[in-house]
Amino acid sequence: MRAKRLRLGGKVMTLRDLSQLDLKRKQYRVILYLAEGEATFEELCRALGVSRTQGYEALSPLVRRGLVEKEGNKYRLSPALEDLFSPLRRPQEASPSEEKPKEGKGKKPKPESPVAALAQAHPHLKGLLHFAGQTLPKVAQPLAAKAPGVLVGAALAARKYGRGQEGSVLVSWLPDVKAWVEAWGAEAVEGALTEATKKADKPFPYARKLLLARPEEAPEVPEEELGYF
């Protein structure tokens, strides 16, 4: 039997509630991945590029806290988190929040966001870009404005993971992609993503490897950082 819907303080969980749970970065990434659907432990570790030990360390606290459930050999989000993420599960469709509002008389039209403008220029990635803009606006919007080629490259890389996982994979990697741009520059990151998408089934770890192999520019990266998916 499924667990009862998780509530905090008598309220259905919201994104703000989730942000206040003091989870580790890997645990948030597991939640984002499972937001696209259930997965076995092996599938989760393989898709996110982590070891079995790292996968266990991320999953077990989520199960204990009732945020993730295990049924048979598969993990899935709790009912509360499923309700929270269900509006975001179809990245191929633009969300209502991204649609242009009707213009009233005497009112100036609202300026188009960088992500919306980029999606308009790349219709084959429209839904995926809107999904990133809605889920991680503070990451996706600056990338769309200052490094649009990087965001497009990240979306193309995410498509290699398959339609069922592309949205969650993209938003789980975008914070890393933004950090790469700050460390190596947009041109280097765009090139690494393009090469990785051509050569690897899982482009993001491969792109990170390419960037870290740049000896003249590679910054110091904490050992723990290298274990992130």
Rounded to whole angstroms, the Cα distance separating 229 from 175 reads 11
Do the beta carbons of residue 48 and residue 30 sit within 8 Å? yes
Rounded to whole angstroms, the Cα distance separating 68 from 20 reads 17
CA distances from 107 to 82, 100, 102, 116 (A): 38, 14, 10, 20
108-122, 127-141, 165-179: least confidently modelled range:
108-122
- Mean pLDDT of the residues in the chain: 78
Q: How confident is the model at residue 173 (pLDDT cuts 50, 70, 90)?
A: very high
Looking at residue 57, what is its pLDDT? 87
Domains and CATH numbers, the chain: 7-86 (1.10.10.10), 109-227 (no CATH)
Buried b (16+ CB within 10 A) or exposed e, 102-136: eeeeeeeeeeebbbbebbeebeebbbbbbbbbbbb
Looking at residue 17, what is its pLDDT? 74
- Tokens read off for 36: 């696209």
Evaluate if residue 225 carries a pLDDT over 50: no
End-to-end alpha-carbon separation of the chain, Å? 31
Do the beta carbons of residue 100 and residue 132 sit within 8 Å? no
Evaluate if residue 135 carries a pLDDT over 90: no
Long-range pairs of 87-90 with CB within 8 A, sequence gap ≥ 24: 88/35, 88/131, 88/134, 88/135, 88/167, 89/35, 89/36, 89/37, 89/167, 90/127
Looking at residue 143, what is its pLDDT? 92
Average of per-residue pLDDT across 57-65: 87
Looking at residue 2, what is its pLDDT? 43
Q: Bridge partners of 12?
A: 7
Percentage with pLDDT > 90 across the chain:
25
49-53, 99-103, 119-123, 200-204: least confidently modelled range:
99-103
Q: At which residue do the structure tokens 């969980």 appear?
A: 13
Which residues lie closer than 8 Å to 74 by C-beta, 6 or more apart? 38, 39, 40
Q: How confident is the model at residue 44 (pLDDT cuts 50, 70, 90)?
A: confident
Highest mean pLDDT among 28-37, 44-53, 162-171, 187-196: 187-196
Looking at residue 46, what is its pLDDT? 83
Evaluate if residue 12 carries a pLDDT over 90: no
Do the beta carbons of residue 11 and residue 83 sit within 8 Å? no
Q: 52 or 220, which is more confident? A: 52
